[in-house]
Amino acid sequence: MRQINSCARLTSKKARTSKPPVGLDQEIELRFDDLLSNGQAVGRAEGMAIFVFGPLPNERATIRITAVKQNYAVGTVVRMLDRSDARAEPFCPVFGSCGGCQVQHLSYDQQLIWKQALVSNALQRIGGIATPDVKPTIGMPNPRAYRNKMALVVDRSNNGFGFYKQRSHDIVPIGHCPIVQPSLDRCIASLLDLRSDPQTTGAFADARHVVARTSRATGQNVVTITGSRPSETRRKLASTLFDRLPNTAGFSESFDLSSENAILGRKKRILAGSESIEEIVGGIRVKISAGSFFQINIEILERIFDAIRPLAAQAHRIFDLYCGSGAFALCFAKAGCHVLGIEENATAVDEARRNAALNELGARAEFRCGRVDEVLREPATAKALRAVDAVFLDPPRKGSDPRTLSAIAEAGVASVWYLSCDPATLARDLKFLLPKGYRLNSVQPFDMFPQTGHVESLALLSRIEK
């Protein structure tokens, strides 16, 4: 399956310059030949791309046009006319309305093949890499109940909780989620009981989100309620809430929101129990909280550890950029490397330092707080960068930036290991970095987010010897 992200590329010159071939509310039969990372299938009517949720490639459906733009149209399924062998029965009752998953209707073996193609096509189309070596996607034996973190939206319309619809602030009510780990799923039921109980419902009066994280190692949870300001009611009810939430090690509230869309605030206070829980991944102990910069799929994180340990065995000094709470830095340090982790979030840096001490790796893992591009330009850090054997990058979805990538290239770092959660920004950054003296050796996709259009990729680059 081939990923396509540009509507303009899907539309012929004739369709762009003449009357659209479809009209609003028109019903047409359409065959689909592509699937985007957001779950929309792509069909074409006289050259115009039409996007529809529900069908898969090689399927045909009668659709109704719901929006017509200059270069594309959007539709909804009226009825399916034939079905692909790749179709699977969705296992969640709110699939199709909830925005959390996009491809439960695609069989898991095909999801892995599709994600490999998403990465390969992004590298070709955006990165200009003619024949990238993209390996088969590493997935899970059981691609359900994997998330160790959830962010529930407080639904004021029905005294419940839910998730947002895709591209919408409408809320889909839920009482169960088969994607989160079982301890979090049980937490949803308890939260619903607390919300409907007159004695405890006041704790959610001004709440926007409830964020919970669990540990696979211990089964314990930490739960945070986000509001616009601290709540005296939540403080008074804290012990009751703490006792009635199963396997909860800590209960807190988060406030001082940076924007209307923020899920966690800039400030927090612990109301009962502990702020953090302990997780074990690849033999490394980490203390994490509800807001930690930490991967949500422990099983796949361990598979990534398996892939990078042999690389670390050949290195002595490594820079870990955008290091978050330090999981990868500690993996490198445990393999015997000396690591400098750089991260601009001060809370994450504090966690990384504590986790290094917890694993008795403080002598080999050092952490700096600051913007990666700025820290790399400091004279002492720039000098140290020229002496490292490898740089590991794990940036946010927006990718890295030219200043950071230029600093790496100018230092002549021998190996660059780039872990990305977005094929498009990975391709963009590789397009910038490769002409500066690097070769792309291989890319390994990992299915960090089964049932969704997201994919994690580890790109391995080496310096071209002159």
Q: Which residues are annotated as catalytic?
A: 421
Residue 300 within any structural domain of the chain: yes
Domain end point (choices 251, 281, 311): 281
Indicate if 164 and 274 belong to the same structural domain: yes
SS3 (DSSP) at 64: strand
Indicate if 74 and 119 belong to the same structural domain: no
Q: Is the pLDDT of residue 6 over 70?
A: no
Domain end point (choices 230, 259, 281): 281
* Nearest of 187, 186, 194, 286 to residue 241 by alpha carbon: 194
Angle between helices 298-312 and 327-334 (to 10 degrees): 40
Q: If pLDDT is split at 50, 70 and 90, which confidence band does 445 have?
A: very high
Compute the mean pLDDT over every residue in the chain, rounded to the nearest whole number.
94
Indicate if 172 and 125 belong to the same structural domain: no
Read off the pLDDT of residues 8-62 as tens digits, 9 standing for 90 and up.
344 444 444 578 999 999 999 999 999 999 999 999 999 999 999 999 999 999 9
Q: What count of residues does the chain have? A: 466
Residues 70 and 17: beta-carbon distance below 8 Å? no
Residue 223 within any structural domain of the chain: yes
Q: What does the CA dihedral 98, 103, 104, 108 come to, rounded to 10 degrees?
A: -160
Residues 361 and 338: beta-carbon distance below 8 Å? no
Indicate if 365 and 411 belong to the same structural domain: yes
Q: If pLDDT is split at 50, 70 and 90, which confidence band does 7 have?
A: very low
Residues 113 and 179: beta-carbon distance below 8 Å? no
Parallel, antiparallel or unpaired: strands 149-155 and 72-82? unpaired
Global pTM?
Answer: 0.93
- In the chain, the number of structural domains is 3
Read off the pLDDT of residues 288-300 as tens digits, 9 standing for 90 and up.
999 998 999 999 9
Domain end point (choices 281, 308, 324): 281
Residue 410 sits in which domain range? 113-141+294-463
Indicate if 165 and 272 belong to the same structural domain: yes
Residue 200 within any structural domain of the chain: yes
- CATH number of the domain that residue 458 is part of: 3.40.50.150
Residue 18 within any structural domain of the chain: yes
Taking the alpha carbons of 59, 62, 65, 70 in that order, is the dihedral positive or negative? positive
Taking the alpha carbons of 349, 354, 357, 361 in that order, is the dihedral positive or negative? negative
Indicate if 359 and 390 belong to the same structural domain: yes
Report pLDDT for 17. 56
Residue 286 within any structural domain of the chain: no
Indicate if 61 and 210 belong to the same structural domain: no
Read off the pLDDT of residues 74-130 as tens digits, 9 standing for 90 and up.
999 999 999 999 999 999 999 999 999 999 999 999 999 999 999 999 999 999 999
Read off the pLDDT of residues 202-244 as tens digits, 9 standing for 90 and up.
999 999 999 999 999 999 999 999 999 999 999 999 999 999 9
Indicate if 331 and 459 belong to the same structural domain: yes
Residue 99 within any structural domain of the chain: no
